[in-house]
Structure 1
Amino acid sequence: MNINIICVGKIKEKYILDGIQEFAKRMQAFGKLKIFELKEDGNDSNRNMSIEKESKSILETLEKNKGFKILLDIQGKNFSSEDMASQIEKIGLNGDSTINFIIGGSYGVSEDIRKSADLRLSFSKMTFPHQLMRLILIEQIYRWFSIIKNTKYHK
């Protein structure tokens, strides 16, 4: 399985980078992981313009990387780790060999991105920093594959 994480912005904190690198290394046992870091616009004076610019970059990246699209969205559906592992397994069984996880910018994503997503996934009603969310996501991806492959990581 090919896993792409398409995200806006760069990781600045070393401890977060270290965690991401650790789980990326562990993921090698389950498939190919690629992280696409897109430029953050961050125009505080015109949030809508920022959302549109960042969303355009996301859509361009998705065009080059066809596959099942999962948008991290606070208004999305909540799953337990076991239920999400089952969803991931079903995606593969339905013929998709690539899953694109999308983390928008700090102002969110356009309605076009929301509509194009095959699944909108919420980790919580709480708001997390985007850098930390990337680490949480990659840990959960590793956990989901551990559940699917029945390894002892998930307890």
Structure 2
Amino acid sequence: MATRAYQELRGEATRVWDAFYAMFDFRPSMHRFPAIVEPTPSVTWSLTHLDDDPTEAGLDRLTQVVRDGFASLVGEGSLLCLDWQHPCYRVWPSLVGPENLDPPGRPGWPLSPYPDGDYHIYLAEDLRFGCFGHPWESSLCVFGAELLDMVAADLHPVLRHVIRRDGRPVTA
């Protein structure tokens, strides 16, 4: 069991990124979307609706739903939080404090699922479920049956607009 809520991936980061690039055919681009081969099952929502929320309640709800889903799925285990071109982390959700409270001995999360200028990626250790935030498309792809079952019903009212399912465009 970890003694800290999260640890920076140092020497291991290259191996994790290499596995991610290979499994998802990651193609970073500011203009070509999607940047990964979105797996089946997956749902990709537009994040543009959150831009219209001056209270940030939608962003807070998105963050809570995603983090709660991961915490339920990994239990006492860990997950990977990747921030493209920045430090990345292994996180033990059961040891992380509630958002914005940071009680003594329980630090907050090191990274949001919302992509704030770079790709933000939450992944199961074995990469079988996760979410991929694309900053330039302004989208969030949630993949893996277990995670989708946990979060889709709560994410849809917050994000509203699905742009792809299983990597295929959804028509209005």
Structure with greater proportional helix content: 1
TM-score by length of 2: 0.27
